[in-house]
Amino acid sequence: MADINGQCPNELKTPGGCHNPCTVFKMDKYCCNSGTCGPTNLSRFFKDRCRDAYSYPKDDPTSTFTCPGGTNYRVVFCP
């Protein structure tokens, strides 16, 4: 567990929390729209504090999961 809001980098701080870099900078480097991206200092900030969290597209095998072809799920939301 980590205090992400309390340790949030200055450039990502927002009242009551911490923005993600894509929202703030709107650059492919942080949004990974091109299909080829890698970690940045800002994505490492989140990953270093929450190793199992998904911190950016195509993050790593520990936080990205896929289902086998033909998988059929039913999603039920409880009240």
Tally of domains in the chain = 1
Query: Looking at residue 40, what DSSP letter applies?
Result: -
What pLDDT band is residue 13 in, cutting at 50, 70 and 90? Answer: very high
Within a domain: residue 72?
Answer: no
Within a domain: residue 78?
Answer: no
Tokens of 33: 């729209």
Within a domain: residue 16?
Answer: yes
- Domain containing residue 8: 4-49
Q: What is the pLDDT of residue 54?
A: 74
Within a domain: residue 62?
Answer: no
Cα torsion angle, 23, 11, 54, 3, sign:
negative
* Average pLDDT over every residue of 47-53: 82
